[in-house]
Structure 1
Amino acid sequence: MFSSLILNITAFSLAALVIIVAGSKMARLADSLADRTGLGEALFGVLLLAGATSLPDFAATLSAAIDGRPDLAMSNVMGSMAVNLALLGVADIVYRKANLEHAAASSVNLMLAALLIVLLTLPLLAIITPTVVKWHVHPITPVIVVSYLFGLHLVRRTQAKPMWFPRLTLQTVADEPHKHHRGRSSMLWLGFISMAIVTGMAGWVLMDAAKGIADQTGLSETLVGGLFTALATSTPELVTTIVAIRIGALTLAVSNIFGTNCFNMLVVAAADLGYTHGSIYHDMAPVQMIWGLVSILMTAILLLGMVRRETYGIGRIGFESALILSIYAVALIVVVVGG
């Protein structure tokens, strides 16, 4: 048993390392492709980078759902969304020139934050409604998919024909394409897709190792999913966000986080499809609601911060960043104590 535990821990660590390396390369490729395709950082982050960085979550969550582990599946994806939002607080600490939400002002990012709040309420509504399933699928699952697609339509319209613009300040970093790039577009796309595939495969290995760790240590699946796998599968978002900030792609950094969380709602829908024992929303432990509610609260605070656009906070950290990091820390303590 001990040797098997060591093997699972080793596999978990190696998979997390692969996700970190691949995520770092994806961020640099995404910045170049955003300019070459003409989509811009915000839209590219929502449509492509978000999906690519969500692949570990998708693979890990679907693996657990198919295996009949609703707590592990949902704690991973819901916990990962809370981690991703906390990463914006970390990113704000890394970016020292001004408050990140001020510098990366964008109508698309505001739309994404509002969309995320809407999407997050749907599975929570499913939890408190009567158990109704059709072909092992809860009716809220197709609603999540349709809402996400309609939300993307609104985001694209906002990007193409914005009805308002953020006030430009000396600290604002506009989403403007760079004219000079190295390398052919085909090679950039090949590299981006390759790194996305690698992260997805690593996510599947990560969850298999996590299931073994949960079984052999006696830790609850809620704790393993909400803490260990959620943090590990969120490493692509952490790496791509930090790298994007380092290369000056601030809009890409913020839109990647919000876009990833919106895409993760499709992961929630996929988990219900993959779970064949009924409605996954009703079979998971009630503690999973904590991550969903906390994510809504954190998103709303970030939305307030993007509207307020505080230039500098205490220690050059925005009030919203300090709040969301504090809220995440408290939620983590509650889950650890409860798990």
Structure 2
Amino acid sequence: MWFDALSLPALIAGFLATATVIAVVGVRLTEKADQLADRTGAGEAITGAVLLGMATSLSGTVVSVTAAMDGEASLAFSNAVGGIAAQTAFLALADITYRRANLEHASADPAILYQASLLTLMLGLPLAAWTGPEVSVLGVHPVSLLLPVIYVAGLRVGGQVRAAPMWRPVSTPQTREDRPETDHEAEGSLVSLLLRFGALVVILGLAGWAMSKIAVQMPEQMGIPATVVGALMTAVATSLPELITTLAAVRRGAVQLAVGGIIGGNTFDVLFLTAADVGYRDGSIYHAIGRADMFWIAVGMLMTSILLIGLIVRERHGPGRIGVESSALLLVYAGAVAVQAFMA
């Protein structure tokens, strides 16, 4: 194929170019998602978890599926789960930029707590599949078939949590309420807003496809394992929309959109594994990967648990005016990167 003939400098240039496209489009997506949250009445937490989470994850989905179809099981798997760890660390960066209070304190919302719990559940299933017997149905592991069912059912329950919560967080002066803006004249009709949002999503998907084709060529030419490329290069690059949209949302004061977008995107990222397992035709993808790939599932579960504790405790301020959980997230991610480098 055409990508096979590219030199290493050309591959690196192409990688950086697609990463730039993904980052720029991510800024515009945040604006449109915030407007849609107000126009539809869905709220920032649900819109961030579902609409923005899915949209910003599209490029990563394309990378994992394309890699799986090319027989690159390790790249497909590590891209999916490595992105979850990177995106959770992005919340710590957002906490640093939000100077009014700890971000987890300000974004208190039952829907966000629920989504983080759902994510922890879904991350445990691939771990169970990896440690269990090698079984498949038409080349797809039963866990891959179960993940979308849990996700869809989880979205339905999440909507109920927002519509009729059984408890509410204590409101403090630092708590940022999700109040929809009422002036939408400059935004155009809802249909035009949805069309513009959709166009941006398509661009993200095309950028993700190009990045996947480039990433497949990089391990051999750079002499590094596919797990490193997937977990630390494509995962971070395709997670740029989450970083950009999170920082942009915090600057707009839409803290529920920022936190909900990360957690929702991470939950949707678990479905990469279902799509990758379907695309991988040599059996169950969970038994075609190694310990280094599964390491990132453990990191993702650890970081999500830390985040969930921070959302429950709701510390107002911590060291350096960020939450203790944000400091812990950065330390865990940095430690995981160091471990990955050692394992490589």
| TM-score category of the 2 structures, normalised to the smaller one | over 0.9
Tell me if structure 1 keeps the 8 A contact 2:50–2:265: no
Q: Deviations over 1:129-154 (max 9, x none)?
A: 01011100011111111111111111
Q: 1:130 aligns with which of 122, 130, 133?
A: 133
Matches within 5 A, 1:249-328: 249-328=254-333
Q: Does the residue aligned with 2:187 lie in a helix, a strand or coil?
A: coil
What is the percent sequence identity of the aligned residues? Answer: 44
The one-letter code of the counterpart of 1:216 is Q
Q: Deviations over 1:305-337 (max 9, x none)?
A: 111100010111101000011001001101111
- Cα distance in 1 for partners of 2:113, 2:217 equals 40
5+ unaligned residues in a row in structure 1: which ranges? none
The one-letter code of the counterpart of 1:254 is V
Tell me if structure 1 keeps the 8 A contact 2:79–2:230: yes
- Cα distance in 1 for partners of 2:221, 2:253 equals 44
- Cα distance in 1 for partners of 2:260, 2:230 equals 25
Q: Does the residue aligned with 2:253 lie in a helix, a strand or coil?
A: coil
Tell me if structure 1 keeps the 8 A contact 2:92–2:326: yes
Quote the residue 1:117 is aligned against.
120
- Cα distance in 2 for partners of 1:3, 1:258 equals 36
Residue-pair matches, total: 339
Q: Does the residue aligned with 2:291 lie in a helix, a strand or coil?
A: coil
Q: 1:174 aligns with which of 174, 177, 187?
A: 177
Alignment pair present for 1:145 and 2:148? yes
- When normalised by structure 2's length, the TM-score is 0.97
Alignment pair present for 1:228 and 2:233? yes
The one-letter code of the counterpart of 1:96 is R
The one-letter code of the counterpart of 2:64 is T
The one-letter code of the counterpart of 1:115 is L
The one-letter code of the counterpart of 2:187 is G
Tell me if structure 1 keeps the 8 A contact 2:83–2:235: yes
Tell me if structure 1 keeps the 8 A contact 2:50–2:261: no
Alignment pair present for 1:59 and 2:62? yes
- Cα distance in 2 for partners of 1:187, 1:234 equals 27
- Cα distance in 2 for partners of 1:297, 1:180 equals 41
Alignment pair present for 1:74 and 2:96? no
Alignment pair present for 1:89 and 2:99? no
Alignment pair present for 1:248 and 2:227? no
- Cα distance in 1 for partners of 2:59, 2:16 equals 14
- Cα distance in 2 for partners of 1:136, 1:3 equals 33
Alignment pair present for 1:27 and 2:30? yes
State the shift of 1:189 in Å. 1.4
212-221 vs 304-313, greater mean Cα deviation: 212-221
- Cα distance in 2 for partners of 1:314, 1:227 equals 28
5+ unaligned residues in a row in structure 2: which ranges? none
- Runs of 4 or more consecutive aligned structure 1 residues displaced over 3 Å after TM superposition: none
State the shift of 1:10 in Å. 1.3
